[in-house]
Amino acid sequence: MGAGFGMLIVETISKIRRAYFVQKKPIKVICRELHVSRKVVRKVIRTEATEFRYERSAQPLPKLGPWVAALDALLLGNEGKPARERLTLIRVFEELAGQGYDGSYDAVRRYAKAWAKDRGAVTAPASQRTGPACSAGPAPETSAQPHQTEDICGSCSAKRQAAGKSPGSAHAHAYATGG
């Protein structure tokens, strides 16, 4: 009947208020029935809030702290690049790790997200392809160039699936194999 461990949801708050104000049950009985502490019941009864949430005011940066300047430089340099040349956040993290950073990717991601909120977009989407841009037009000729291989374009395949057509009939793009 309770809301689960560690989480006070709107449904439980309304049950507590109903039990106390309408049914006139004592706090001790409400605690027993809903499996919540007396402290929680008192908090719900005394306030008009319908939701209780904890939000950290400042994110500590224990490992990232000394690397903020380097990360800012990477993000700023990345922001100035054209969209196709921008690094994804994982690549930004790898660049920072290459310079000696030994913290987590998540710390870099959180910092970059806050940085982006203040300044604008900083990274390319993770699904960005490195091949030529697809214009959904005819595929480039691949048989005339020896060291290339064909690959079905994922974006065209997805568009065809959304249109109800078979994905296998999407056109192919040529990608250099470097050989």
Q: What is the pLDDT of residues 17-62, one digit of tens each?
A: 999 999 999 999 999 999 999 999 999 999 888 777 777 777 677 7
pLDDT digits (tens, 9 = 90+) for 73-119: 998 888 888 989 988 999 999 999 999 999 889 989 988 888 888 87
DSSP string, 149-179: EEEE-HHHHHHHHHTTS-GGGS-EEEEE---
Domain ranges of the chain: 1-55, 65-119, 129-179
Pick from 129, 176, 178: which is nearest to 153 by CA? 129
- Residues near 1 by Cβ (< 8 Å), separated by ≥ 6? 15, 33, 34, 35
pLDDT digits (tens, 9 = 90+) for 136-158: 544 444 444 444 444 455 555 55
If you count DSSP H runs as helices and E runs as strands, how many of each does the chain have, helices first?
7, 2
3-state DSSP assignment of residue 106: helix
* Rounded-to-integer distance, Cα 13 and Cα 8, Å: 7
Residue 128: pLDDT over 80: no
User: Which pLDDT value is given to residue 53?
Assistant: 77
